[in-house]
Structure 1
Amino acid sequence: MTLNDLGWNDRFEAEFAEYREKGWEPARLIRDNKISYGAVLDDGTEMEVALGGAVYHEAETDAELPAVGDWVALEMGAEGNEYEGLIRARLERQTCLSRKAPGKGTEEQVMAANVNVVFAVTDAGQDFNLRRMERYFTVMLRSGARSVVLLNKSDLYSDEINQMAKEALKALSPDVEVILTSAIESSGVDAIRSYLEPGVTIALIGSSGVGKSSLINQLIGQDWLWTGEVNGVTGKGTHTTTARELLPLKAGGMLIDNPGIREVQVWTDAKTLKESFRDFDEVATQCKYHDCKHRSDQGCAIQAAIEDGTLSRERFINYLKLDFELEKLSQRKKKRELTVSRRTRRELNSKGEKYSRKPPREGRR
């Protein structure tokens, strides 16, 4: 195994030059163990490494900390370190698959770094939800990686139902490839393998119980991951993947598996959202007024297109929801930044007062 097999390229090499002069070694993170990381070196050696203090303290958010798929600079055998290596730096990411962390906070959660292709796994039955897929498309578009949808468990549904689901997905995002797969029958697996070659990293995302683990076992060629059952009443599956992990594949390439996603809260910007809903953005240019809110505004081209059936009302409502979420997220981020700024200013003022105090004069004898 070489660095290139792991996804190394000229840009990473150029950035790493200053670290190589310090005697540090490049490695790719394959596992996040919460208090440590699993890393793989250019010769295929795996080791447990720890996060250096400077990297931790210089990160302003959790998203800036190393994540699975990241390239890092390791100092080997650092004095006083119980692990085999110490992470001294994280290289800049070329792509980043992330979402807003679950909950009401304003943190970005990195799901996979330096990924070339993202596969969103769903099926044509219980898991099929166009509104959720719109969220997936927005998340995948922002990542910078290529987007593909896997309609899994195709053996459970008729050709007609599978085709209807495929056409509905293509209508949402014409540029996205949709592949019918069945882990049970091994169909469509070769189509996934066609994306794999040395140096290429793919990631799988989707709801729990949709069959990601079964597909991964097919790609690896062994029962690497335990596969869980889907609840017949709720249609929800058990989480068979509990942690993100990068798996090197014998046939070439690497795969990052993610735990099942229960909620897809987007972490993006207005530009990416518009690109995800290009059909609305194109129609909006025909509105009578440039500041049209697309509600009950006179001369609104979007409302007219919804009325004549050109655009989907449900899709438009989902667009408004996502736009509202982004606006609220932006407001919370600004509030958080203001709070941090005030706290930092108070701390600096406090330190300034401490060191500017004159020492008490000694009394006369």
Structure 2
Amino acid sequence: MTLEDLGYNDRFEKLRKEHHLEDFEIGRVLSEHKERYRVKNEKGEFDAEITGNLRFTATCREDFPAVGDWVALVNCEGDFAIIHRVIPRLSLLSRQAVGKVGETQLIAANIDCALLVQAVDRDLNTNRLERYLTICYASKVRPVIVLTKTDLVEAEKLNELVAHVKQRVKNTPIFAISNESKEGYDSIMGLLEKGKTYCLLGSSGVGKSTLMNNLAGKRLMKTTTLSKSTNKGRHATSHRELIVLESGGILIDNPGMREIGIIDSAGGLENTFDRIISFSKKCKFTDCTHTHETGCAVREAVEQGEIDSKSYANFLKIERERDHFDRTVAEKRKKEKSFGKMVKNVKNDLQKISSKHNKGYKK
């Protein structure tokens, strides 16, 4: 298998040279388990760990490798390697870490397209789709919506659901498929290009692992049924893993996500809620929050039915969440900076005391 089969291209080679990494072997991260990695290149697969220097100089979670990353390797001997550095990414999907205020969880790196998977036999959640779209657009990843389990609903009901999604979500391809009959699979297979990387995103139980197994033509991922007690999906995939299909496409499956916390919507909100953003330019005040101000064009458009009221409510919720995350991160950085300054001052004071002590001792 060549590096190109794993998704390597001229853009990564340019980044490799710009950062003076030509003398290192490179590989792609297939999986991660508590800072232990599995990487692959043309020589084979290796278990890998990061260097102590990389760990020491890392300032945040984004500095560590993620599934899909290209990394510079040293000491590739036997089946083990050391990760010297992460080659700069072309894209990075991430969300707010569950239960950890102000912290980021990396989903996958260097993704070309995200398949947003939802099942039509359960409550199809358009608010959740808009959240996925926001993190995709913020990460410069092209989104595609995949509606699964179409064999479990009548054709009329399916058409209604698709029409509902199209009403809220504009300019995003929608594929309706059945994992049982394989209806609609030709369209999905036509989407997957050789050397391109695709990421499966969705809740547990929507059929991501079954979709991946079917596209691969063999059982790669464990699948489960819905919980009878909660009617919610159970985690079939316990970790992220990159798989190269025989067709040439590259897939990354992910554990089901019940929460999609927004951390950085630079361009995300603007693209997902472009209609709301368009109306906001007509607001009387440039700093309009679109909640209570007089002359708010957005609220007026909602009242007149030009903007979907549920989409409007979801927009406000995601925007508040994004702003809260930004404030939390800013506060943490301020505290860390203050603590770092205090440590530096203590060290300087200790050096002065030590210097005076040494001078007194010499006398």
Structure 2 residue corresponding to 1:181, chosen from 177, 182, 186: 177
Question: Partner of 1:362: helix, strand, or coil?
Answer: helix
Shift of 1:271: 3.9
1:168 deviates by 2.0
Contact 1:29 1:40 in 2 (8 A): yes
Any conservation in 2 of the 1:270–1:323 contact (CA below 8 Å)?
no
Counterpart position of 1:197: 193
Report the alpha carbon displacement of residue 301 of structure 1 after superposing the two structures with TM.
Answer: 1.8
Q: CA deviation at 1:57?
A: 1.7
State the AA in 2 paired with 1:106.
Answer: G
Task: Please state if 1:20 is matched with 2:22.
Answer: yes
Name the residue aligned to 1:280.
276
Q: Aligned with 1:175: secondary structure?
A: coil
Q: How does 1:104-183 map to 2 (within 5 A)?
A: 104-183=100-179
Contact 1:39 1:46 in 2 (8 A): yes
- How far did residue 171 of structure 1 move? 2.3
**Equivalent position of 2:6 in the other structure:** 6
For 1:149 and 1:134, how far apart are their aligned partners in 2?
A: 11
Q: Is the alpha carbon distance of 1:320 and 1:270 closer, same or farther for their aligned partners in structure 2, counting shifts above 3 Å?
A: farther
Residue 361 (structure 1) aligns with: 360
Asked whether the 8 Å contact 2:138–2:266 carries over to 1, the reply is no
Counterpart of 1:264?
A: 260
Q: Aligned residue for 2:298?
A: 302
Instruction: Please show how residues 203-352 of structure 1 align to structure 2 within 5 Å.
Output: 203-269=199-265, 271-352=267-348
CA contact (8 A) 1:127 1:207 kept: no
Deviation at 1:156, TM superposition (A): 0.5
Q: Is the 8 A contact 1:189 1:218 kept in 2?
A: no
Distance 1:77 1:245, change over 3 A: closer
| Aligned 1:38-49 pairs, distance under 5 A | 38-43=38-43, 45-49=44-48
Q: CA deviation at 1:270?
A: 5.3
Counterpart Cα distance in 2 of 1:87 and 1:206:
30
Match of 2:68 in 1: 69
Say what the alpha-carbon RMSD is for the aligned residues: 1.8
Matched residues in 2 for 1:245 and 1:198: separation?
18
Post-superposition offset of 1:76: 1.7
Question: Which whole-Å CA distance do the structure 2 matches of 1:227 and 1:363 have between them?
Answer: 75
1:360, distance to aligned residue in structure 2 (A): 4.9
Deviations 1:54-82 (A, max 9, x none): 1112221112210000000000258xxx9
Change (3 A) 1:265 1:362: closer
Check 1:154–1:77 CA distance in 2 against 1; reply closer, same or farther (3 A cut).
closer
2-structure distance, mates of 1:77, 1:40: 11
Q: One-letter code of the match for 2:301?
A: A
Does 340-349 or 283-292 show the bigger shift? 283-292
The amino acid that maps onto 1:222 is K
Amino acid across the alignment from 2:273? F
Cα distance in 1 between the residues matched to 2:8 and 2:289: 46
Q: Deviations over 1:115-163 (max 9, x none)?
A: 1110010022314111111111101111212110000001111122212
Q: Distance in 1 between matches of 2:253 and 2:291?
A: 41
Partner SS for 2:95:
strand
Match in the other structure for 1:85:
81
Shift of 1:11: 2.2
Letter of the 2:296 counterpart: C
- 2:50 corresponds to which residue? 51
**Number of corresponding residues:** 358
Distance across 1 between alignment mates of 2:184 and 2:51? 43
Amino acid at match of 2:150: S
1:20 is aligned with what amino acid?
E
Query: What are the Cα deviations for residues 159-200 of structure 1, in whole angstroms up to 9, with x where unaligned?
Result: 222122222222222211000011111122222222223311
Q: What SS does structure 1 have at the residue aligned with 2:21? A: helix
Letter in 1 for 2:297: A
| CA distance in 1 between partners of 2:181 and 2:170 (Å) | 27
Moved over 4 A (4+): none
Separation (CA, whole Å) in 1 of partners of 2:229 and 2:178? 22
Task: State how far apart, in whole Å, the 2-side matches of 1:2 and 1:116 are.
Answer: 19
How far residue 363 of structure 1 moved from its aligned partner, in angstroms, is 7.5
Contact 1:102–1:263, Cα closer than 8 Å, also in 2: yes
When the two structures are superposed, what TM-score results if normalisation uses the length of structure 1? 0.93
1:180-233 Cα distance to aligned partner (Å, 9 max, x none): 011111122222222223311111010000111110110111122221011245
CA distance in 2: counterparts of 1:110 and 1:320, whole angstroms? 24
Q: Retained in 2: the 8 A contact 1:270–1:326?
A: no
